[in-house]
Structure 1
């Protein structure tokens, strides 16, 4: 599992795992598990909250106002943190028609270009998301009464975590490319 390149290879052939790559891969796997647990807990809270809202509205004829707001804000955080959580295992949708037809060296270059563009985009999201979060910090949500800055903080937090996972994947030598078998098969091979 550590240093493996069979399912997440950049097409350049297998490389012997160095201690640095093995540590990066172990850390990425651990961080991915933490993020998955966090996202799972948030989804559980969302599900309970939405069920409570439905029961309140249709059974008791009085839905709590905070439940819809909480579930909406949790969905934002789930999306942004989940983005980082699925990166290493190739869980993001991708169109690989060109990549599949390139020789291994050209495919590797294309993956590097992709990663550089992704890091640049994530840096912009982090920068402007932090500014937006700071700017919105003075406003409060309608029913929960928390600062909107906390909601908008999902943007820079998610972008930073995603960039960090990308760097870890590169250090580990696995540029998160799902195989033709699909993401489910990649997950079961670990």
Structure 2
């Protein structure tokens, strides 16, 4: 079990690092595109594609960065009950049920996110003549990153003496 836990921890840490760099890149590109577009608009030469491309990058930021928030316990959660109860097997069960329910929800979103992306293959942007599948694939990408973290948390609750370390929100 220790090897599986170490493998999941390594995968979770690497996915977190990749998501961080992707979010930084997306945020940098949005900043450059929007500022460049503002200055070019003042000069009367604003590109028509900048608004649409910035919107696509913001969608990527939302879904990829959500995995960063999940890893760091930044999502909204009600942990007052679990934190107020001293450690008992009931606390471990509550945390595990919560993590499994989140995993089921993420699998549901993954399924329909992939379905939405596949259906968007022939659809292009209003201004940018590129398939919207690349934008819609941000949904399953962010969800897959979150699934890696949740699997690590589920395994952590089984192996840890302190399951409260594996709450999805702090």
Tell whether 2:163 aligns with 1:163: no
The equivalent residue for 1:130 is: 114
Deviations 1:108-156 (A, max 9, x none): 2111111111111111111111111111211100122111122111112
The equivalent residue for 2:54 is: 71
Deviations 1:39-83 (A, max 9, x none): 1111101110110111122x2123211111111111111111111
User: What secondary structure is seen at the aligned counterpart in 1 of 2:126?
Assistant: coil
Out of 69, 94, 98, which is 2:77 matched to?
94
TM-score normalised by the chain length of structure 1? 0.76
User: What secondary structure is seen at the aligned counterpart in 1 of 2:28?
Assistant: helix
Out of 99, 107, 110, which is 1:115 matched to?
99
- Structure 1 residue runs of 5 or longer lacking an equivalent are 1-16, 180-190
Taking a change above 3 Å as real, the CA distance of residues 176 and 145 of structure 1, as seen in their structure-2 partners, is farther
Write the distance in 1 (CA, Å) between the matches of 2:8 and 2:148.
11
The equivalent residue for 2:166 is: 175
Number of aligned positions between the proteins: 162
Deviations 1:18-39 (A, max 9, x none): 3443343233222211210111
- Structure 2 residue runs of 5 or longer lacking an equivalent are 158-164
Q: Which protein has the bigger helix share?
A: 2
The equivalent residue for 1:152 is: 136
The equivalent residue for 1:83 is: 66
TM-score normalised by the chain length of structure 2? 0.84
Tell whether 2:26 aligns with 1:35: no
> Does the 8 Å contact 1:129/1:152 carry over to 2?
yes
Write the distance in 2 (CA, Å) between the matches of 1:177 and 1:161.
14
